[in-house]
Structure 1
Amino acid sequence: MDEELSALELEFEWLLNKEVNTILSQLHSLIVECCRRFAVHNMPGLDSLVKTEKLQLNWSSHLDQIKILATLSADNICYADISLRLHKHAIPNQRTIVQNDCQWKLHQIQDASNHLISALNLLTSPPLRYDSNDNKYDFRSAQEVIEMINNVMGCLQRGRNSLIVPKKRTIEELQSSRNMHSLQPPLPNDLAVSFYIQSHKLVCAVYHMLRDHSGQLKFDIFQAETSVGWLSEALVLFTVSLQFCQQLKDKVSVFTQYNDMKCNNKP
């Protein structure tokens, strides 16, 4: 039993001093690679992949049609030409533009970027002991590793979710938003537009408020969307980073069941 425990302690020491640091270094590289897809301004030397791209979003039925040409740059729609044909509207044909001097902010992308930076800060400026000469962490226990990984995973999960799950807003919130005020000319009061991210897609939703024959308010909703390549890449990197975290957490957690291991609390 003593030999088995000694072997476990040696294995844990190796995991704590070697493999944990190797995996964290790989995790750091993955997160930096993900950051390259976003407009990160406080990382000097980062080889950014951010570019301005023109996208076309179309939707049509036999009566209604949405045609949108949008220019996306990081977390901003810096230009959009929106043409609507809604047969139930009093003015069926509508056209409005987002101008470069009043851009449409995509807060989901901005939030994802902020959570990425938070995850990276936990790895580059950790609250735990870090030996800058050897570029390695000096973890003293399994719990220290697990606590740090949980914090990093929390940042990554929030960043990934901000892209996958759009925040729900009421029509009133949409109409009063700063983004709606960027449309020139303004749309009629019974119309609202929302650009948002859903997974790897840029979506534009158009809401038409109208009353039915009994006077009840209802909505007709129309959506146009297009896939954005760099968002797909970013989501893959978020997912792989989370998998690295989970694998490391699982490896370390195995040793927490052995209460007699001295190296569970290294001096």
Structure 2
Amino acid sequence: MEGGHSLTITTNYPPAPASPNPQDERDQIKANREFENLWIQRNDVETTLRSALNHLKSCCVILNLSAKCDERLQVSMSHGTTEKYQLMSRTGSSDSLKAAVTLLDDNVIQAEVTIKYPKAGGGFFRAVAQPDVQWKLQQLQDLGNHISRVTYNGDGGEKDHFNSTTGKRILEELKSTMNEISLARNSIMLPRKRSLLELCYFPPTRKFNPPLPQDQLISFYISCCRLVCASYQMVPKTVHPQGLSVFMAESQLPHLDDVIKHLNIVMNIVQKLISYLSATM
């Protein structure tokens, strides 16, 4: 260059960006989850529980559970009324088995059966049971017990005292509620039959007048919200390979259909809240 001067160019590059700190990212994710969890506790828990309890209250009214459920539900005291149901045959010919059952809540007050029975005069056996012993349908009793227990579950805590510990407690209570509701549903959706040996020694079985023939047993149970009467007759294996002829009659119980609808709603809204809380834990 002219004059002997040299030109020096200095370039100042900006500092390289710092590498993201994985720990910082994890801390931020955790903080976001905690924020979401507290938001759910403050805004969703109370609303969900109130809605669930309203549906459970309806179940308590339908099933006359005022003496069993939490008094905070303010279910008016009531006494059940007797209902008579006509059960019609669902297997074989329509006259294979007919029954009429009078219920008072979960108690069988009276049962009348007409069974196709070749050994009886006229080919039919008729009997009435009006037992002087308690004859409860255990499935209906279980239904009431599970529902009443749910009504005593926690109320979600105080709005101003939510934290991660209360979130875990609420989640456990919600899971307990789901379990009880599931058991309540199953008690009237899934059949629960006594074994033939149990039926032989079941006191109400011996209360029919005239007495059941020695080769005949009668059972009553709930299945899919229906009251079912089953007649079991011992027959030669040449007639039936298992040596047992079974006839069934049934009647829909409309009030149980209503109970199932309420329980399904409770399960849906509680499961949704469980999913939200679990995702933020």
For this structure pair, what is the TM-score category when the shorter chain's length is used for normalisation?
Answer: 0.7 to 0.9
Does the 8 Å CA contact 1:212/1:218 hold for their aligned counterparts?
Answer: yes
The residue aligned with 2:13 is none
Instruction: Give matches, 1:218-257, under 5 Å.
Output: 218-256=243-281
| Aligned partner (choices 38, 42, 52) of residue 27 of structure 1 | 52
The residue aligned with 1:94 is 125
Structure 2 vs 1, CA of residues 19 and 49 (structure 1 numbering), >3 Å: closer, same or farther?
A: farther
Return the index of the structure with the highest Cα Rg.
2
The residue aligned with 2:75 is 46
| Aligned partner (choices 230, 248, 251) of residue 205 of structure 1 | 230
- Give the structure-1-normalised TM-score: 0.81
How many residues end up aligned between the 2 structures? 248
Structure 2 vs 1, CA of residues 197 and 62 (structure 1 numbering), >3 Å: closer, same or farther?
A: closer
Find the aligned partners of 1:82 and 1:63 in 2 and give their Cα distance.
Answer: 14
Find the aligned partners of 1:63 and 1:53 in 2 and give their Cα distance.
Answer: 23
The residue aligned with 2:3 is none
Structure 2 vs 1, CA of residues 49 and 6 (structure 1 numbering), >3 Å: closer, same or farther?
A: farther
String of CA shifts for 1:204-257, please: whole Å, max 9, x gaps.
00000122349986110000001110010111112211112111101111112x
The residue aligned with 2:39 is 14
Q: Which amino acid aligns with 1:21?
A: E
Does the 8 Å CA contact 1:203/1:224 hold for their aligned counterparts?
Answer: yes
Structure 1: unaligned runs, 5 residues or longer = 257-267
The residue aligned with 1:118 is 149
Find the aligned partners of 1:121 and 1:63 in 2 and give their Cα distance.
Answer: 46
| 1:172 and 2:197 matched | yes
Find the aligned partners of 1:244 and 1:97 in 2 and give their Cα distance.
Answer: 45
The residue aligned with 1:260 is none
| Aligned partner (choices 66, 75, 100) of residue 106 of structure 2 | 75
Q: Which amino acid aligns with 1:42?
A: K
Q: Which amino acid aligns with 1:33?
A: S
The residue aligned with 2:180 is 155
Structure 2 vs 1, CA of residues 168 and 79 (structure 1 numbering), >3 Å: closer, same or farther?
A: closer
String of CA shifts for 1:59-99, please: whole Å, max 9, x gaps.
27459522222212211121222112223x46632111121
Find the aligned partners of 1:85 and 1:240 in 2 and give their Cα distance.
Answer: 42
Deviation at 1:4, TM superposition (A): 7.0
Q: Which amino acid aligns with 1:84?
A: I
The secondary structure found in structure 2 opposite 1:105 is: coil
Find the aligned partners of 2:189 and 2:113 in 1 and give their Cα distance.
Answer: 24
| 1:183 and 2:213 matched | no
The secondary structure found in structure 1 opposite 2:152 is: helix
Of Structure 1 and Structure 2, which has the larger fraction of its residues in strand? 1
